[in-house]
Every structure is written in C-alpha cells, then in structure tokens.
Structure 1
C-alpha cells in the first residue's frame, strides 16, 4: 500500500515537472515576445503622439487653416497607429501579410457599403485643400445662402441670416456652383432705380451721386457709377454701382435705398407704376 502511494506521488511529481517545464518554455518563448509587443505598442503610440504634436505646432506656426490642421493630424495619427499595431503583431509572430490582407478586404467591403459617405469624405478633402471657402465666409450654394459655421468630414453647416441651420453633404456641395460673397475684401452693390420719363434725368443722377459721395461707408476707390441702364416700358432705369467693404454690404444697401427715396421725394422725382394705355376706336354706324 505504501509503495503504491509512493508511486502515485512520484507520478504526480513527474507530471508537475513536465507541466512546469512547458510553462517555463512557453514563458521563455512567448513571454519576451509579448513584453516586446507591448513595449513596441506603447513606445510607438508615444512617438506617434509626439510626431502629431510637432506636426500641429509647425502647421500652426505656418498659419495653416485650423480645419486642415485637425483633419491632417487625425489622418496621420490613424496611419501611424495602424503601423504600430502591425509592428507589434509581427513581433508576436503573427503573419502580418495575412493581417494586412484581412484589413484590405474589410476596407474594400466597407468602402462599397459606404460609397456615398466616402464620397462626402473625398469632397471634404477637396474643400480643405483647395479652400473655395473657409469657416466664417458667406456663401451661396445648392440654392441656399448662409455663413459657414462648421466643415467636417461629411457635411458643411451654414447659419442663415434668420438664424436657421442648414447642413449640406459635402458631395452635394462640391457638385454645384459655389459663390463666395466674402472671398474678397470689397463688394459692389448693384442697384436699379426707376424714374418717370417726365422727370429730370440729370437731377436724378445728381441726387444718387450726392448720396453716394456723402455716405461714410461707400468707398472712394473703386469709384461708384450712376448711368442709364435701360429705357423700360414705363420708366427710365438708372443703374447705380457703389463699392463697400464686405462687412458693410447689407447695412449700406438698406440705408442708401431709403435715403435715395427720400431725396427723390424732395426733388419731385417719381417712381412710376406699371401703366397700360388703351385706345378706343369708334366705327361709324
């Protein structure tokens, strides 16, 4: 009986030594690789963070647009992290070629599923790099007019003059014409004033010119223009073209229109209404 117990103890001890040897060999072979992979990931992540910091700092010193800085930083950081993950997996003995192939296949499937979304991302890249407009610009696009508030990877947000928010997909936005009202420092106001054929044309032109000369926000250069633009069915049309700073456009347009109307009243210049002259022909009975 005692001999049998001793044999069992010896057998258990042998198995324990065997499993211990396996554990030691496993720890020796894979433990160092695991520690190395973790070290590669942590150090690589830290280096990626430092690279992004240097990149952002350099772009800020070069006065690059904030939207471009954010977008570029995110893209580069994701690419660096993917490279770090692949390097860590390679250190563990994982076949990275198949790993990359799996990611490629997954990326292709996702790309096909999100075709329209990726089109918006591509449009965002065009907007950011070619900069047809920037945050704070007043633009007309896709039949709407507003001030650009946000440009992200998928859409552009506009704020209208009556404080509404319009969100336009970037793909739709770049597919049409874009009018940037604040792309230049100066802007011309195109105005048309109708006067009666019986009114004094020279007086009317002088009145408009005096209003433009005396208004403090109308620029001297480029010089304004007041000319006869057309002889309409019911009126003579005077085309007036003053220049102002972009930020003064609407204030000056409203103020000048009102002031010219008051001056017309003072000088007896009338704005005619549409008229129809009817001739009655009588036939002899």
Structure 2
C-alpha cells in the first residue's frame, strides 16, 4: 500500500462522511418542516432519534475508514485497524448518547444522554485501555511476529500482535493470548534462539 493510494482512499472516505452529514441535515430539516406543516411535530423527537441512529452509523464508519487510510499510509494494517476500532468505539458511544438525547429531548435528554454516555464509556474502559495499549505496542514494536519471547513467564514464538492481544505459541503447542496492557506494563525478554520444537517444523 503506497502513501499515494492510501491518501486517495482517505480522501474518498472523508468525502463520503461529508456527504452523509449534508444529507442528514437536509433530511432532518425537510422532515421537521413537513411534520410541523401537518401538525405532527410531537413525534419529531422520535424521528430525530431514528435519523441519528441511521446516519450516525454511516458517519462513524466513514470517519473510522478515514482514520484507517490516513494511518495506513504510514503504518501497517494491524496498527491502522487499531486506530480505526478506537474511533468506531468512541463513535458508537456518541451515537448512543445522541439517540437517547434526541428521543427524550430538552434538558432531560441531554442529562440522560450524557449519563448513558458515561455509563457506556465506563463499561468500555477496559476494552479501550487494551486497544490504546495495543496501539502503543504496535507503534513501539519491541518484538515482531516470529520472535522468540518470554512475557509474563510465557515462553514461545510470537504469532500475531493485535490491538487487544499478543498471540504466543509455546513449545508444547499451547497458544497464549496476552493482553496488550499487560505486555506494556511488564518486562519483555527477547530470546536469542527459537524453540527447538519450532525449529524442527512443529
């Protein structure tokens, strides 16, 4: 993936996001006008909630794609995906808060939406923390796939590094998934030789 190609795809994702936002504004304004004209304005908040949910999903995904292709021009696929997933998680939390706020309306809607956003954010804290640790891990690159490492007493060959886990295969074939936050906060031993079982083609 060349930086030029990644830049073109990032531009395409950004264009899609802008189009979705413009269409959302037009549709929301048109529906508000029609509902006020036919005296069904009382249902507007429910319509707004549906619009936020529908268009919000497309907008969030387009923004996540934009982040992915922007990062892809400089970093590898796993690192770019980690950033994309982080943006998607944040976007989903924002959509949930916005939908509740739109459905309830007024100060109450803002209060409930904000509270729900905090609750969901707290529930996602562990996952988000793991993802952030994974991003730093893939950026720092203390080891790579194929390296023989010892992390938290787990000795084996690195098979994959994702935003949430590092996958290590031990000599007996056992696969260990080590959380990224645990890898970041502990010593990493890079062994000079591969395991004998791995060398023999296990």
| TM-score, length-scaled by structure 2 | 0.58
Matched, 1:150 2:164: no
Shift in alpha-carbon separation, 1:60–1:40, aligned structure 2, 3 A:
same
Compute the displacement of 1:27 (Å).
Answer: 6.9
Shift in alpha-carbon separation, 1:163–1:39, aligned structure 2, 3 A:
same
- Per-residue CA shift, 1:185-212, capped at 9, x if unaligned? xx7x9xxxxxxxxxxxxxxxxxxxxxxx
- Per-residue CA shift, 1:116-164, capped at 9, x if unaligned? x887566435423433223333323333432212334554221235533
| TM-score, length-scaled by structure 1 | 0.43
Match of 2:110 among 85, 89, 96: 96
**Matches of 2:50 and 2:80, distance apart in 1:** 30
Match of 1:55 among 67, 87, 93: 67
Backbone CA RMSD of aligned residues: 3.8
Match of 1:124 among 121, 126, 134: 134
Q: Relative contact order: is structure 1 or structure 2 higher (C-alpha 8 Å, sep ≥ 6)?
A: 2
Q: How does 1:73-84 map to 2 (within 5 A)?
A: 73-84=84-95
The structure where strand makes up a greater share of residues is 1
Which position in structure 2 is the counterpart of 1:85? 96
**Matches of 2:141 and 2:153, distance apart in 1:** 20
Compute the displacement of 1:73 (Å).
Answer: 1.0
- Per-residue CA shift, 1:83-104, capped at 9, x if unaligned? 2333333333152223312442
Q: How does 1:152-171 map to 2 (within 5 A)?
A: 152=162, 155-171=165-181
**Matches of 1:146 and 1:59, distance apart in 2:** 30
| Residues 149 and 155, structure 2, Cα contact 8 Å, conserved in 1 | yes
Aligned length: 158
**Matches of 1:104 and 1:86, distance apart in 2:** 9
Compute the displacement of 1:77 (Å).
Answer: 1.0
Which position in structure 1 is the counterpart of 2:46? 34
- Per-residue CA shift, 1:56-77, capped at 9, x if unaligned? 2232232x13322222111101
